[in-house]
Amino acid sequence: MVPAGNPTEETIRALASLLAGNDVIIDGGNSYYKDDVRRAGELKPRGIHYLDVGTSGGVWGLKHGYCLMIGGERPIFERLEPAFKTLAPPDGYAYMGGHGAGHYVKMIHNGIEYGLMQAYAEGFELLHASAFQLDLAAIAHLWNQGSVVRSWLLELAELALRADPRLEGIKGYVEDSGEGRWTVEDALEKNVPAPTIALSLFGRFRSRQGDPFADRMLAALRNAFGGHPLRKSGPGGP
């Protein structure tokens, strides 16, 4: 697996120098879809074809299957279709459209994923904070039996909560890997609101901050106009 960005870029260049006309390069990672469009254009004069393939299914793919979102020229897709048929579970691959369409659809998939995860996280935090002393893993299991919110992510939540019922051994430090940002940028480009996807991403940023400047400014302002007491930062502070 080659990381998206420069490593992929260099690999493709190296590969292209070894390939002959009518060969096909498949980028099966999480490249930015605009890079696909550019790369396909660069390879075209040399007769080299390019497919962008987004994959979803996570590390469970081998066991539970996964799906492939494929972009590029349709005839090239059709030439390679037998390979996709072999690799993917039934109905587990599809042609999405021209160059970049595969990674574009994967990008939006990940944006949605951020929002879904955040919705579960908020709900379970409320359950966790409840005075009812709820069994969160049991609730996740129950909801997976026919409820409206049943999903694969909820099955994973059930496993995580079985292993550590109050998630006490985990630090709430939440990384992101690019597709969420691209989704928000896409919303900006298209004049389409994407409020909960953007907030889910910002929540991850927030999880990685210690004591954000914004909050210090709010505390300073409250103190300035209302005389509300300030907490001092540093080891002596609360």
Q: Which of 10, 78, 81, 215 binds a copy of itself (CB under 8 A)?
A: 215
Q: Report d(CA 48, CA 147) in Å as an integer.
A: 49
Choose one: 19-27, 43-51, 77-85, 163-171; the region binding a copy of itself (CB under 8 A). 163-171
* 32 touches a copy of itself (CB under 8 A): no
CB 200 to a copy of itself: min, Å: 6
Site for a copy of itself in 66-95 (CB under 8 A): 66-67, 69, 71, 88-94
Cα–Cα distance list, 222 to 26, 89, 139, 175, 228 (Å): 56, 57, 40, 31, 6
Element (H, E) at 94: strand 93-97
Between 14 and 173, whose beta carbon lies closer to a copy of itself? 173
DSSP three-state, residue 71: strand
Query: Which residue in the set 12, 172, 179, 235 belongs to the binding site for a copy of itself (CB under 8 A)?
Result: 172
202 lies in the binding site for a copy of itself (CB under 8 A): yes
Query: Residue 134 and residue 114: Cα distance in Å, rounded?
Result: 25
From the list 16-24, 44-52, 75-83, 125-133, the region that binds a copy of itself by CB under 8 A is 125-133
Q: Quick check: is 106 catalytic? A: yes
Helix (H, G, I), strand (E, B) or coil at 67: strand
CB of 21 to a copy of itself, least distance (A): 27
**Spatial distance between the Cα atoms of 102 and 28, rounded to a whole number of angstroms:** 9
Is residue 175 annotated as part of the catalytic site, yes or no? no
